[in-house]
Amino acid sequence: MARTVKSDRAGAGPPSAGRPLQVRVAGAGCCVPPPGEGNAEIEQRLGLEPGWIQKRTGILSRPIAGPEMAASDLAVEAGRRALECAGIAAEQIGLLLLATSTPDHLLPPTAPLAAHRLGLVGAGAIDLAGACSGFVYALALAGAYAQAMRRPVLAIASNVLSRRVNPRDAATVPLFADGAGAVVLAPDEEPHLLGIYLGADGSKYESIRIPGGGSRQPLTAEALQEGRQYIVMERGAALFREACRQMAEAGRRAMTAAGAQQIDWWIPHQANLRLIRETGLLLGIPMERTIVSADRNANSSAATIPIALAEAAAGRIRRGELLLLTAVGAGMTSAGAVLRW
């Protein structure tokens, strides 16, 4: 049963506009490592009361990549599974877009390596740094390229965030995890990518960040000793409310761009269950029409949406159903897309 999304246009400004893209998701795949440290172990190590993590986040377990695994390894496996699902040969792909906040190296980009290992001969390949909104950004760009060039595009999101959390920080250790998800977008005679919204609000740029490692704060021995290589999150209700508001607004604007009033399934960024529930209330979408994987897979940033999509495509969602994808992340970036499955 399709759900009507609540509309609140007051003060929202002009909606995103554009024509639906004549592309379809031909296949999806994901790569989720085995669970790492459990809630009880984390709570004991950090001095948290038993049950604190599940109560605050809804997360029961978090996949953690082995020490030999990097973002490219997860990306290659997810991409391979998406290609197999689509039944499209690697040499047909025209472009690989890799959304990641944890590339193998700052230089060179990781996408060319992933493309090489996947056998994408003659394809372009580039990284996208869109934080948690990165996959929806990649989906929008991939759809435009696939329609314009009439060639399939592989869009992957992959992160190894477990190596970017301070092991002593109770605000980040329970949340972040590792994983990768991918889709193949192929040209089609009918439009399936119906509406897109991409947003950014740089006034809240410092809310979630990794201070060290860029040109602003190079990673020196002193910076490493002070833990500037780790994720820092602004705490408090204000950031939570703003994240909910921006993700809900992205959903509304994507629906407006698509000219759609109802959806069958909502696939939000899997930050944590509290954010999903609160944003769902703003959108008027009940939990029974929401695809949730945060309890098992935690928060792998941009990878959460394609992971949830690939898992749901294995039996829960059906061809022809209308999906709403929404995300919000560091920057602050936000994004929404309406997709006919």
Instruction: Give yes or no: 269 in active site.
Output: yes
List 39, 159, 297, 299, catalytic entry: 299
- At 238 the pLDDT is 87
Most distant pair of Cα atoms in the chain: their distance: 57
In tens, the pLDDT along 287-320 reads 999 999 999 999 999 999 999 999 999 989 999 9
The strands making up 193-200's β-sheet, listed across from edge to edge, are 193-200, 333-340, 322-329, 265-268
* Structure confidence at residue 237 (pLDDT): 85
pLDDT of residue 13: 40
The beta strand positions in 176-243, using DSSP E, are 178-187, 193-200, 208-209, 232-233
Alpha-carbon span 130 to 106, nearest angstrom: 15
**pLDDT at residue 326 tops 60:** yes
Percent of the chain with pLDDT over 90: 89
Catalytic residue among 30, 31, 85, 269: 269
> According to the model, what pLDDT value does residue 10 have?
37
Catalytic site residue 159?
no
pLDDT reading at 159 higher than 80: yes
pLDDT at 14: 41
Domains located in the chain, CATH noted: 3-14+193-340 (3.40.47.10), 23-187 (3.40.47.10)
| pLDDT score at 225 | 93
Q: Which residue has the higher pLDDT, 16 or 265?
A: 265
pLDDT digits (tens, 9 = 90+) for 140-153: 999 999 999 999 99
- pLDDT tens readout for residues 240-276: 999 999 999 999 999 999 999 899 999 999 999 999 9
Stretch 215-222: mean pLDDT = 93
CA 63-279-273 angle, 5° bins? 30
CA 254, 259, 261, 267 torsion: positive or negative? Answer: negative
Among 31, 85, 132, 244, the active-site one is: 132
Annotation says 105 is catalytic: no
